Amino acid sequence: MGNQDLDKVIVNSPGRINIIGEHTDYNLGYVLPTSIDKRIRLTIERNNTDTQCEIRSEGYKKALLVDLKHIAPSNTQWENYILGVLYEIYKRNKELKGFQCTIESDLPVGSGVSSSAALECGLAFGLNELFDLGLSKHEIVTLSRDAEHNYVGTKCGIMDQFASVMGKKDHVILLDCKSMDYTYVPFSIAPYKLVLLNSNVSHSLASSEYNTRRNECEEGVSILQKKYPNISSLRDASLEMIDAGKIDMSPKVFDRCTYVVQENIRVLNAVEALEKGDLKKLGTLMYETHEGLRNLYEVSCPELDFLVDFSKNEDEVLGSRLMGGGFGGCTINLVHEDAADSFIQSVSEAYEKEFNIKLSHFEGHPSTGTTLL
Ligand code: GLA
């Protein structure tokens, strides 16, 4: 069905959580994310101009005005998510015409639930419907990722965009970032639940260090290729190969590669644990991921380490780790539902005492990906 008659669309574009599999996506490994029931809402209307667009976001007084024929990066970062998506769509498809858009959100920004991917994909999804652009979901996901690379400057992987668009209620997605094959894994963890603790810090290192990690992994791959020419990413490497390549690597590169290969193994073990209902095992894997992110990948920070360490004293918390790119944002915690309130209270008090920062929290419920209202 064509959408020529559609004047207005309203899109719900969710944030994502990730059970396990961090910094594996751009190394073409495995991830286990899902979209959640917190979302950005975009209302997009045709304005009957050829190329004039006006975007207003809650919390920003100034509207972003864009002429599709003259799109260029902005000095204001949130605008680049929009501009990047418009650029990527317009270069593919001139059926895109002028519109106005308003954006509201109940997603905490900078907390590691990927409000940025929700914004990119929600805009692309809505414009696709409104102007009948014929983009597949896969194209919406990849062009949104490209927007982030080219306009925002973060060389992110595919996980956030994929999870935001493709999520399914009560399931997590096992995504193979090499083949892009995916399966929905039922997520039933009662009487446990997922509690997200937002450290409310966002260290400025995040973007530059992210790209540095990516480069370090690529350096590891090119060293390994001298011995193993068939390797094209860390996904193809085993721990034995990394050990054999150690002598040619800097200690940092060795640690980064080791972490990634271990993390891929953990994701597959986590799926097995979920399928067996072995939540204790799942929790242990989450703790191991945090240790790896802290010591080998070095993307944690004192606030996140504090939250994870604190949780270890609570019997009713099975696992905890930093979630997302690192250097701030949330920890994801697997907590018994009867103990969740008292855990949140005690960790909040301790955190505020230690850092003089208020902790916030919310629950993570696997929910449907991007939808039209
Ligand atoms: C950010 C990126 C993702 C992924 C995670 C780390 O959220 O956008 O692509 O790399 O960090 O797992």
User: What pTM, to 2 d.p., does this model score?
Assistant: 0.96
User: Has 309 been annotated as catalytic?
Assistant: no
Residue 13: CATH number of its domain: 3.30.230.10
At 3 the pLDDT is 59
Asked if the structure places residue 234 within a domain, the reply is no
C-beta separation of 151 from 207 below 8 A? no
pLDDT digits (tens, 9 = 90+) for 153-172: 999 999 999 999 999 999 99
Asked if the structure places residue 125 within a domain, the reply is yes
Asked if the structure places residue 79 within a domain, the reply is yes
Q: How far apart are CA 83 and CA 67, in angstroms?
A: 10
The active-site residue, picked from 160, 181, 305, 309, is 160
Asked if the structure places residue 254 within a domain, the reply is no
- Which atom of ligand 1 approaches the CA of 25 most closely? 10
Q: How far apart are CA 160 and CA 163, in angstroms?
A: 5
Pocket test for ligand 1, best of 25, 35, 216, 289 (most atoms within 8 A of CB): 25
Report the candidate in 320, 317, 318 with the shortest Cα–Cα distance to residue 305: 320
Mean pLDDT of the region 120-148: 97
**How many separate domains does the chain show?**
1
Instruction: Identify any residues that bridge with 195 across adjacent strands, giving them in sequence order.
Output: 333, 363
Unique residue bearing structure tokens 């703790």 = 287
Asked if the structure places residue 102 within a domain, the reply is yes
- Which atom of ligand 1 approaches the CA of 112 most closely? 7
Percent of the chain predicted with pLDDT > 90: 91
Asked if the structure places residue 203 within a domain, the reply is no
Q: How far apart are CA 253 and CA 261, in angstroms?
A: 12
pLDDT digits (tens, 9 = 90+) for 222-250: 999 999 999 999 999 999 999 999 999 99
The model's confidence at residue 60, banded by pLDDT at 50, 70 and 90, is confident
The one-character DSSP state at 63 is P
Q: How far apart are CA 206 and CA 23, in angstroms?
A: 13
The one-character DSSP state at 25 is G
Position 1 pLDDT exceeds 50? no
Beta carbon of 325 within 6 Å of any ligand 1 atom = yes
Unique residue bearing structure tokens 């007084």 = 61
pLDDT digits (tens, 9 = 90+) for 194-219: 999 999 998 766 678 999 999 999 99
Asked if the structure places residue 356 within a domain, the reply is no
What residues contact residue 247 under an 8 Å CB cut-off, 6+ apart?
Answer: none
At 298 the pLDDT is 97
Q: How remote is the CA of residue 157 from the centroid of ligand 1, in Å?
A: 6
pLDDT digits (tens, 9 = 90+) for 329-362: 999 999 999 999 999 999 999 999 999 999 999 9
Q: How remote is the CA of residue 65 from the centroid of ligand 1, in Å?
A: 29
At 30 the pLDDT is 98
Q: How remote is the CA of residue 22 from the centroid of ligand 1, in Å?
A: 7
Asked if the structure places residue 26 within a domain, the reply is yes
The one-character DSSP state at 111 is S
The model's confidence at residue 111, banded by pLDDT at 50, 70 and 90, is confident
Q: How far apart are CA 36 and CA 192, in angstroms?
A: 17
Q: Which domain holds residue 172?
A: 8-186
